[in-house]
Structure 1
Amino acid sequence: MNTSKIGSSHLKTLVSGIAAIFLAIAMVMFPDTAFDASLQGLRIWWDIIFPALLPFFITSEVLLGFGVVHFMGVLLEPLMRPLFNVPGVGAFVLAMGFASGYPMGAKLTTRLREQNMITRIEGERLVSFTSTSDPLFLFGAVAIGFFHDVELGVLIALIHYSSSILLGFIMRFHERSNKERIIIPDRLHNQRNILVKAFKAMHRSRLNDGRKLGKLLGDAVTSSIQTLLMIGGFIMVFSVILSILTQIQFTEILTKGITLFLLPLGIAPEMSQSIIYGFFEVTLGAKTVSEASTSIPMVEKLAIVSGIAAWSGISVHAQIAAILQRTDIRYTPFLIARILHTLIAFMISFIVWKPFHLEQAANSLPTFIYQYSTSQTSIVSLWNTFTYQSTLLLWFLFILLLLSFFSYSIKRKHGK
């Protein structure tokens, strides 16, 4: 075995062991801090994450079992392949990821890979731009809860999702030389009518799955609960870690280092603490930005918040890495994509600030956003949360289908 690999393996073991011992000692030294942070993480998971994601996790499993995802995959192939170099089923992951937020994109990408509907490279491309924050968080928590300004949510959402789409287009070139694809059976490939082709794909998938409704629902609930328990564990652990690092003033040391990078960019040094918190946890980072001095230009706060939302926090990274480990999809391309997404979102913030100023954005603000934001105090009603995200999901799918049919019509017209 290569000695360099052996040395690297030993180093990882040493670092992991030291980190685990440090965490254990810190929890003994600061038991109250660890308990309060763990309880706070549990509340976030139980009050927000669990009810928001469970219905969508179960629904996605049922749709996969009945072949509906295969049906949409055939219909959306003309759109997803040219734009993002992924199969049409990626559109389902894109819509669910945008509507429900992380780690839905990673969860569905893993399921598609397990069912051999996408290749490893396609999975790495897909998870890179479908792991986004959900609109409910951007509007409800960040814009309204932290900044008390619903109009700001328009700009944050615009930056977040446009930069994600741009990232998807960039990631289409990830290992472009790899031409591996999942082969479609000839009897489906030769079918000219796309609707018939889609229906046959759905029927064939349902027969291959073979599970009855009761069995399918049971498996869906079990799998969803297991994933959500894992997510809750990560949220609690990283909540404790961040609280302990703050308690021992380690975050202050990091803050001073970040300040050296912010000064050449013309960003207020006060933003360094928000970046450190956002590096670990997106919610705390966004909240810290909103509490920064009013003398700091709003465009700088917008850029930092957008970058934090794009990065998504180490806690989310750990969740997605754990989900991806069930397959051969690698974490490293996802990490590179998160860095790119952060940089793209940061730069777009300065570009769109002037042409999409808040008064102009308010004129184009969709009515349903006003209705939702003014009738709710953050995320309280589980029913409204579910209906809001479901509506967004249907709209995303509807728009993607329209674009796909348009692309398909253009190709048929030109005989391609």
Structure 2
Amino acid sequence: MSFQKWHSLLLATAATVLAVSLMLFPQQSLEASLRGLSIWWDVVFPSLLPFFIISELLIAFGVVSFIGAYMEPLMRPLFRVPGTGGFVWAMGLASGYPAGAKLTTRLWEDGRISTIEAERLVSFTNSSNPLFIFGAIAIGFFHDPALGIVLAAAHYGGNIIVGLIMRFHGTQTEQSTKKKSFPSLAKAFHLLHEERIKDERPIGKKLGDAVQSSVQTLLMIGGFIILFSVLNEVLSLLRFTEIFAAFIHVLLAMIGLSSDFGIPIVSGLFEMTLGSQLVSLTDTPLKQQAIVTSFLLAFAGLSAQAQAASLLAPTAIRFLPFFVARIMQGFFAACIAAVTFDWLYQPKSAHVFTGADPLYMIEHSVHQFFAVAPFITLITLIVFIFLRHRRLIHQRVDG
């Protein structure tokens, strides 16, 4: 039998096993689905939505071209990507997975970057956002905002190292690019103006399209989060997680980490949020927990990678370089956490949390955000349904 036939058999078998498992464990599957929905509703949707909408508007109004003109002398020598990659990097850092993949595909579709440049760019512009690292992980799971500094330094430090390494990706097939100097303000503004004129949609249409495009992407992300939450639960019920954890125990023993991380790591390889939560519940030294959590956040889990893969699929941008970059960043982030933990981490006892304390302000802001996040999601979905219904009516009238 050919490889393609074996591939078809494997996929069909996996889908069948998952379907049968849902019927055998309906209650557990429902609970896992609700956990995934809660993560999407309370955290992912309200935290990503503003950045998705703003990024669409910045592209439509030509601001990306303006920023790209000034970022070219920085991004080209360091990462061998156009200056517009600086915009993707900043938005990916601020908003989190999979914003980098979404914006990279948008620039590729607009012809602003080549395929090789897109593969380099997407490899280091996808990361967890600060709200997730400090809010959901450091405060929500570990109840220690000071730990967020270690996790953030390891995460974004690993991101930069991956970007510097991936600059060598595809150098043999790429034509040499002449280095550009900083443009004048008039020239950069001219690029902004030309870009805005090129997009002939009225402002109201641009805003409506930005909202609909962003919500549709977030609905897809929510589907992946729920799917992998259920898949993780099913694998645990079928004892596959314990089998995989046995192999992880051997690797952990070789590098001097506790074997208690076996199941959390296996779970985190599928869904980083669940894996990070399980790590926080282990009875292990905090430094080891920070190392393992840094690895899981950087690897991002197959759930976040599947989200990126679905965005890259309609393009010529390959997923394999992105996957390899996630593995590299996982190990880099873990090493950075191990080296910098004793220096960066300041225990709770060393802090007196007052209104002027930065860590107190971060914790207070996070709690305020989580209090209003469900309402943001609900209101936005209502607006999306209204805009979608209005567009369908116009299409029927025009038709």
Q: TM-score, normalised by structure 1?
A: 0.84
Residue by residue, what CA displacement relative to the aligned partner does 1:3-57 show, whole Å, maximum 9, x if unpaired? xxx9222222111100011111111111111111112211211121111111211
Counterpart in the other structure of 2:255: 265
Residues 73 and 376 of structure 1, relative CA distance in 2, 3 Å threshold: closer
Q: Where do 1:293-332 residues align within 5 Å?
A: 293=283, 296-332=284-320
Using the TM superposition, give the Cα deviation of residue 322 of structure 1 relative to its aligned residue in structure 2, in angstroms. Answer: 0.1
Q: For 2:222 and 2:268, how far apart are their aligned partners in 1?
A: 18
1:295-326 alpha-carbon deviations (Å, 9 max, x no partner):
x3322111100000000111101100000112
Task: Work out the CA distance in 2 between the residues paired with 1:177 and 1:360.
Answer: 51
Q: What is the 5 A alignment of 1:9-408?
A: 9-180=4-175, 193-293=183-283, 296-358=284-346, 367-374=357-364, 376-377=366-367, 379-382=369-372
Indicate if the aligned counterparts of 1:281 and 1:314 stay in contact, CA closer than 8 A.
yes
Q: Provide structure 1 residue ranges, at least 5 long, that are not aligned to the other structure.
A: 1-5, 387-416
**CA distance, structure 2, for counterparts of residue 368 and residue 109 of structure 1:** 33
Percent identity, aligned pairs only?
45
The answer on whether the counterparts of 2:70 and 2:183 sit within 8 Å (CA) in structure 1 is no
Deviates further, 57-66 or 366-375: 366-375
> What SS does the corresponding residue of 1:377 show, helix, strand or coil?
helix
Report if the CA contact (8 A) 1:140-1:378 is conserved. Answer: no
Shift of the 193–347 alpha-carbon distance from structure 1 to 2, 3 Å rule, reads closer
Structure 1 residues 57-112: Cα deviation after superposition (integer angstroms, max 9, x where no partner)? 11111111111111101011111111111111111111111111001111101100
Aligned partners of 2:146 and 2:348 also within 8 Å = no
Whether the 8 Å CA contact 2:32–2:233 is kept in 1: the answer is yes
Report if aligned partners of 1:119, 1:180 keep a CA contact under 8 Å in 2.
no
What secondary structure, in the 3-state scheme, does the structure 1 residue paired with 2:343 have?
A: coil
- Structure 2: 5+ residue runs without aligned partners? 377-399
The answer to whether the 8 Å contact 2:147/2:345 transfers is no
| Alpha-carbon shift at residue 346 of structure 1 (Å) | 1.3
**Which letter maps to 1:38?**
S
Q: Distance in 2 between matches of 1:385 and 1:355?
A: 40
3-state DSSP of counterpart to 1:354:
helix
Cα distance change on mapping 1:385 and 1:300 into 2, 3 Å: farther
State the partner residue of 2:388: none
Q: Secondary structure of the equivalent of 2:367?
A: coil
Aligned-residue RMSD, C-alpha:
2.5
The alpha-carbon deviation at position 369 of structure 1 amounts to 4.1
Distance 1:202 1:181 in 2: 26
Deviations 1:202-227 (CA, angstroms, capped at 9, x unpaired): 11111222221122112212211211
Tell whether the 8 Å contact from 1:289 to 1:301 is kept in structure 2 after alignment.
yes
Contact 1:141 1:378 in 2 (8 A): no
Instruction: Tell me: CA distance 1:322–1:180, structure 2 relative to 1, closer, same or farther (3 Å).
Output: farther
Deviation at 1:241, TM superposition (A): 0.7
Letter in 2 for 1:251: T
Q: Given residue 110 of structure 2, which amino acid in structure 1 is its aligned partner?
A: Q
Structure 2 letter corresponding to 1:52:
S
Judge conservation of contact 1:151–1:361 (CA < 8 Å) in 2. no
Aligned residues: 373
Contact 1:85 1:122 in 2 (8 A): yes
Going from structure 1 to structure 2, the CA distance change for 1:219 and 1:37 (only over 3 Å counts) comes to: same
Cα distance in 1, alignment partners of residues 368 and 269 from structure 2: 23
Q: Is the contact made by 2:68 and 2:83 (CA closer than 8 Å) also made in structure 1?
A: yes
- Shift in CA distance, 357/48, structure 1 to aligned 2, threshold 3 Å: closer
3-state DSSP of counterpart to 2:190: helix
* TM-score normalised over the length of structure 2: 0.88
Query: Do the aligned partners of 2:131 and 2:366 also contact (CA within 8 Å) in 1?
Result: no
